[in-house]
Amino acid sequence: MAKFTFLGFLKKDNHKTIFLARDKEIILVRLGDKIAGNYEATTITDEALSIRSLTDGSEMVIPLVENRPLAGQIR
C-alpha cells in the first residue's frame, strides 16, 4: 500500500470518497471498493481507511495523512 499517496477526500450525502495517487494515476476509493486487486475498503473515516486482504482476510488500519504514502497496522 506504500505505493499509494493519500491526497484528500470528498464527503457528500454522508458518503466518503478518498483520493489516492499511484505514480501519475489518481484512484477514487469508496466503501466496498477493491484496491490494487488485493484489498477491499471496509471502513472510511475522516482519520483512517480500513482495508481487508482478499487473500488471507487480515485487516489493516491506515491513517489518512494528506500527501503522505499510505502505511498502516495489521489488526
What is the predicted pLDDT for the residue at 73? 47
State the pLDDT at residue 46: 85
pLDDT tens digit sequence for 9-39: 899 988 899 998 888 889 999 999 998 888 9
The set of residues, in sequence order, having a beta carbon less than 8 Å from that of 10 and lying 6+ positions away, is 16, 17, 19
Average pLDDT over residues 31-51: 91
Q: Per-residue pLDDT for 54 more than 90?
A: yes
Q: Cell numbers 488471507 label which residue?
A: 56
* Residue 15 or residue 70, greater confidence: 15
